[in-house]
Structure 1
């Protein structure tokens, strides 16, 4: 009799535990707050967006997003209030990209904050590597984009790591035209407003011209009558996301 009761109870516990285990094993999705441990032991907060249909069995295309100077800080959240994160929220249930949103700390001149060899630029790349180790990232579909200060960072990091990204989307930023030879093989779609008073539109025009001179065929969208905020229109461009997915690293 005791054996029968023990068998019954064991089976009941198993039935109760199975759903709990399944729930625990289901990957968390949506906007997730994360922490990155720097080499000096300090913590830098950042956010990732994990697609709602994410499965560890299927490689997921990934975007590294670099914010502008107005979102610099240490709260780990301000960078999610402008640009690509807002575009994600408008299509959150179907957005297919795992998106990494680091935050630059106010420790260096504005245009250096996302540069390779500078603390925030190097941290962004280190966070990308950390996320790759945790999630099933599609190594052939890693994309880089940023606005304003992040647009400068996009041009800079692409030149520093030309084999790392399948495509880049610099928005209202600028780069070094001399770097065009390094990035001419990376598909590029650049956006800028022609009335931008914060970052002169000529900086994007010069990069596009340099790329074309190097033999590349970049896409360029210039918004007439638009000031510094060209990012709402840029990240609101429905064709941008299929365009990204159409490109893979060699």
Structure 2
């Protein structure tokens, strides 16, 4: 009887039931989480919240062993978000022209609240990152929800159509990484249905002016050629290009994370 009761308690506990291989429910949505390998279960840890590309899923993200190892070695939890039917409900999208993004922002708020309560995530050290459509999600979060995150890493994705005229404060640190020959999300965007993908430089220019970022400094690291700007309050706006198409490599994400850490955002 005692063994049966213990088993039932374990099965009924959402904190114990979810992780990298099982969904963590939040309302009608879900996410998955992978904690650092050496996590003791009591010490708050930083986290990277990842938004997948179009057609992806949290389950698919957790199959990326390279990304999981990199984040675990850095002491970060990986929180994999789950779009609805593999997509994100963002302003000016092909099927979401009238959206204000509020449903997605509420979902991210709910996941952050759940993860900090159930998995001992440090709410002051959460980074938002994503690839392709997930990079679009990141730019929208950076503009609408800057106070929720310590920094942002957008890979190969920007706003639909055009950036907003202004953003919410505080100003955030953003790292954007993109392939020079990307044909899926070109640097100049491309028409899709009644809308188009935005231009990367237009998003960067808007945020440079909004955040009072200073002159550019240029450098090269590995396959990345970067320009970086700082503002008077210590935030960084970095733009890195690599020779290639629409592709993700763990080292690109690792560079973005290192940039935020070096800037003192984490």
Tell me the TM-score normalised to structure 2 length: 0.67
2:121 paired with 1:137: yes
Aligned counterparts of 1:143 and 1:212: Cα–Cα separation in 2: 20
> Paired residue for 1:219, among 215, 221, 238?
238
| Offset, 1:145 | 0.6
SS at match of 2:203: helix
Aligned counterparts of 1:109 and 1:94: Cα–Cα separation in 2: 29
2:209 paired with 1:195: no
Unaligned runs of 5+ in 1: 1-26
2:41 paired with 1:77: no
Instruction: For residues 94-117 of structure 1, give each alpha carbon's deviation from its aligned partner in whole angstroms, at most 9, with x where no partner exists.
Output: 241111102112287775589731
Preserved CA contact (<8 Å) 2:156 2:179:
yes
SS at match of 1:182: coil
Figure out how many residues of one structure are paired with residues of the other and give that number.
209
Aligned counterparts of 2:88 and 2:70: Cα–Cα separation in 1: 34
> Paired residue for 1:68, among 53, 58, 72?
53
Unaligned runs of 5+ in 2: 1-15, 189-198, 214-228, 230-236
Preserved CA contact (<8 Å) 2:112 2:123:
no
Change (3 A) 1:123 1:104: same
Preserved CA contact (<8 Å) 2:35 2:72:
no
Change (3 A) 1:49 1:190: same
> Paired residue for 2:261, among 242, 245, 250?
245
| Offset, 1:182 | 3.4
Change (3 A) 1:205 1:127: same
2:96 paired with 1:149: no
| Offset, 1:228 | 1.1
Aligned counterparts of 1:245 and 1:106: Cα–Cα separation in 2: 33
Per the alignment, residue 82 of structure 2 pairs with 103
Instruction: For residues 103-142 of structure 1, give each alpha carbon's deviation from its aligned partner in whole angstroms, at most 9, with x where no partner exists.
Output: 1122877755897313x44323311210011132222211
Per the alignment, residue 171 of structure 2 pairs with 185
Aligned counterparts of 1:221 and 1:66: Cα–Cα separation in 2: 19
| Larger Rg, first or second structure (1 or 2) | 1
> Paired residue for 1:205, among 201, 206, 213?
201
| Offset, 1:231 | 4.5
Per the alignment, residue 16 of structure 1 pairs with none
Q: Which runs of 4+ in 1 moved over 6 A?
A: 27-30, 107-110
Q: Aligned-residue CA RMSD in angstroms? A: 3.1
Which has the larger displacement, 186-195 or 211-220?
Answer: 211-220
Higher helix share: 1
Per the alignment, residue 31 of structure 2 pairs with 46
Tell me the TM-score normalised to structure 1 length: 0.70
